[in-house]
Amino acid sequence: MSFNKFFFLPISMIDYPNKISSVIFNSLCNFKCPYCYNVDLGKECNLDVDEIIKKVLEKKKVIDGVVFIGGEPLINFEDLLFMMKEIKKMGLNVKLDTNGSFPFHLDYLIDKQLVDYVAVDIKTSFKKYDFLVDDSDAEFTLKETARILRKNRIDYEWRTTVISCLFEKEDVLEIFEFLKAGEKYFLQSFSDNGRLLDREKLFSRCPEPYLPKKEIEKYVWLFKEKGIKIDLRRYK
C-alpha cells in the first residue's frame, strides 16, 4: 500500500502540447533547485493513487491525456507505474515531465508503451548542477536519458527554465553541443511567485535571476542554425 499523496488539477490547456489534459502533481523531488516554485505543493497533495484514478475517470470524456509533473514523478516509481497503467487502460495519452535523473525508469515506461510524450529539463551546464542537487550525476543520467529518447520510439522535448547565472555563454554553448538537429527545445521564463524554495541561495548567486527576452534571443539564431526547433515559453 502506498502512502504517497498527490494533487490533481482537473483541466489544463498548457501542460500537454495541443491537448487538453488533467495534471497529477507529486511534491517529492531529488533536486533542490532554489528557484523551484512548487514549495507549497506538498500541502496540497492529499490524494492517494486510487482517488487520483477515480478523478481521472471522472474527467475521461473531456480530456485527451494526463500529465505527470513534479516534484519529480519518477521518484515514486511504483505509484507512477500503477497510475500510468490505469490511465492507458482508459485510452488516454500520457505525458511525463522529468528532471532527467531516472533514465532507466524512463526506458522501462517507454518500452511498456505507458508514456507518449516526455519533457526533460536541461537545467544548466553539467558542472553547475551542484548548485541544484547534492552528489550530482547529472552528466551521466542526462546523457543516458538522451540516448533513450533518441531511439525514436517516442515524441519528446528538452526545456530550460532560464536563470541568468545558470544560462551564461559557456552554459548555452554546452547545451548547444548536447542537443541534436531536429530536437525540440523550449526556453522558459523564470517567474518569482514570492514562494521560492531557497530565495537566499538563489539571490546570493544570481542577484538578478531573470534574463530578459532580448538577452535570450541573441542565442536563438544559433540553435536554429543547427536545426534545433527552439521556442520561448512564458516570455512577454
* Cα angle: 30, vertex 205, 236; to 5 degrees: 85
Smaller CB distance to ligand SF4: residue 53 or 132? 132
Question: Among candidates 106, 97, 99, which has minimal Cα distance to 148?
Answer: 106
Q: Which stretch binds ligand SF4 (CB under 6 A): 27-35, 43-51, 55-63, 78-86?
A: 27-35
Q: Does 79 bind ligand SF4 (CB under 6 A)?
A: no
DSSP state string for 2-35 = ----EEEEEEESSSSTTS-EEEEEE---S---TT
Helix/strand/coil (H/E/C) assignment for every residue in 57-68: HHHCCCCCEEEE
Q: Does 219 bind ligand SF4 (CB under 6 A)?
A: no
Q: Does 71 bind ligand SF4 (CB under 6 A)?
A: yes
Place of cell 524554495: 197
Q: Residue 202 is inside which H or E element, if any? A: helix 199-205
End-to-end CA distance of the chain: 45
Q: Does 195 bind ligand SF4 (CB under 6 A)?
A: no
Q: Does 31 bind ligand SF4 (CB under 6 A)?
A: yes
Give the per-residue contact string, 83-102, with ligand SF4 (x = CB under 6 A; - = no). Answer: ----------------x---
Of residues 26, 47, 72, 116, which one binds ligand SF4 by CB under 6 A? 72
Q: Which stretch binds ligand SF4 (CB under 6 A): 70-78, 108-116, 201-209, 228-236?
A: 70-78
* Footprint on this chain of ligand SF4 (rule: CB under 6 A): 29, 31-33, 36, 38, 70-72, 99
